Structure formats: structure tokens, C-alpha cells
Amino acid sequence: MISETTYAELREIAARYPEKRSGLLPMLHLVQADHGRVTPEGIEACAEILDITAAEVSGVATFYTMYKRKPVGDYHVGVCTNTLCAVMGGDLIFDRLKQHLDVGNDETTELRAEDQASITLEHVECNAACDYAPVMTVNWEFMDNMTVQSATQLVDDLRAGTEVHSTRGPRLGTWREAERVLAGFPDGLADEGPSAGPASLVGRELARQRGWTAPSSDASGTAPAIAQTKLEAVEQADTSRAETETLQEQTRD
């Protein structure tokens, strides 16, 4: 059942948008925060509030992999097994965790007598963090430069209830708490922990050392007019790229 509080919050999300249907994605995250997964009741509630069919809601919920149709544990642990992370050790990490946790892909651990939390393990596609490969996520927060040993220690700490901090973010809450944040209800932890690591800032530091800046105007020194057509936008992009390349060549000379 959808509680009155959750139903009211679903309506609140829908009201944020000029077209209330645009609120469907965060609404589904709120359903997961309340039920631990996308339930039939949650689908019906979203459909009713948005004046669309349950089939349309279900189509969205089954398209995106962050929406789950079966219960998720207290922590969702993702291991990137895309190309770079895989060759850097992601495949080994995933195989080790499956053995260590005694689960397969997209399965959840049984609570042992000594456990404080359960874990759902899943291999995930590229997390756009290749400069920190191999990468894992816990409830969508990054865990960088992982090894088989550090990954094993991570899941042990999570199961034991030990406080864990993400590499470039805050201390980790539960999966349901993270889903509530994705629904647009802040937890007050957005500014906790670093937002970028050294590898992500190398380009900025190199630009600072060499005096590189992004072009802010055209060759005449005036701001370019806003493109009105796709062709004008392409032409502006090509011109800007050519000017930047010319400036870089002059700098090297």
C-alpha cells in the first residue's frame, strides 16, 4: 500500500514541473525509497497522479536499470565491468565478491546472525569515472581505485554496520535513503566530502599552467549571436573549434 504521506509527496514532485509527467523519474525513486522497489501499487499511484496509463509508467520503470522490480538490500553495490574497469581489475573484483557474498549478479545476501545490513550485488556498465578505474558504487556513490582486497573489506564493513565514506562524496546511507535523495528530498549531505578527485582536475591544472582559457567571443571580440537553426549551430561550433586550435598553435610556437 502507498501511505498517505508518500502519496502526498508524489503529488508534490509532480507539481514541481510545468508538465507534471516530467516528474515520473523522481516519483519512481520515491516509490523505491518507500517500498524498496518499484511495486505495482507504486506504478498505479504514479499513473493516477500523472493521468497516464500504468503501462506507460511500467515502460519507463523497466527501461532504466536504476529502477528495480524486486527488493534491494540495505546497500546496493555495483561493480563496473565495462572495458577499462574490467581490464584494470573489475572482473576479478566482481568474481571475488560473488564468491565472498555467496550471491550471483543482481542477488541479495541473506542476513547472518552477525550482520547489520544486507547487500545487493550487481555488475554495472560504465560509471563515467574511467580515470579512477576500477570503480565501484555503493548506492550510486563512487568508490575509486578499488582492489580485490579493498572491495572485500568494503562489503564486510557495510554488512557489519561500520560507517563508510564514499571516495568523492559523503558518508553512505542506506539504499532507500539514497533513493529519497534522488527523488528530490535532500539529506543535508551534499557538501560532505570532496566533489572531485586529483585525476579529474589534471586538465584544469594543465590549462592553468599554460594559460589556456575557453573562448568567450568570436574573432571580432563580440559575443556571437544565438544560433537559430541546427546549421547555424554547427557553423558556430566549427568556427569556435578552429579559433581554439589556432590559438593553441600560436601558444606552442
- Decide: 49 and 11 in contact? Cβ < 8 Å: yes
H or E stretch at 80 = strand 75-80
| Structural domains in the chain, sorted by start | 4-63 (1.10.10), 75-182 (3.40.30.10), 213-252 (no CATH)
pTM: 0.81
**How far apart are the C-alpha atoms of 245 and 87, rounded to whole Å?**
34
**How far apart are the C-alpha atoms of 253 and 246, rounded to whole Å?**
11
Can you give the pLDDT of all 253 residues of the chain as single tens digits?
A: 889 999 999 999 999 999 999 999 999 999 999 999 999 999 999 999 999 999 999 999 999 999 999 999 999 999 999 999 999 999 999 999 999 999 999 999 999 999 999 999 999 989 889 999 999 999 999 999 999 999 999 999 999 999 999 998 899 999 999 999 999 999 999 888 887 888 888 888 999 999 998 876 655 555 556 767 767 766 666 666 666 666 666 666 6
**How far apart are the C-alpha atoms of 101 and 116, rounded to whole Å?**
14
Which of 26-48 are b and which e, b meaning 16 or more Cβ less than 10 Å from the residue's Cβ?
bbbbbbbbbbbbbbeebbebbbe
H or E stretch at 108 = strand 107-108
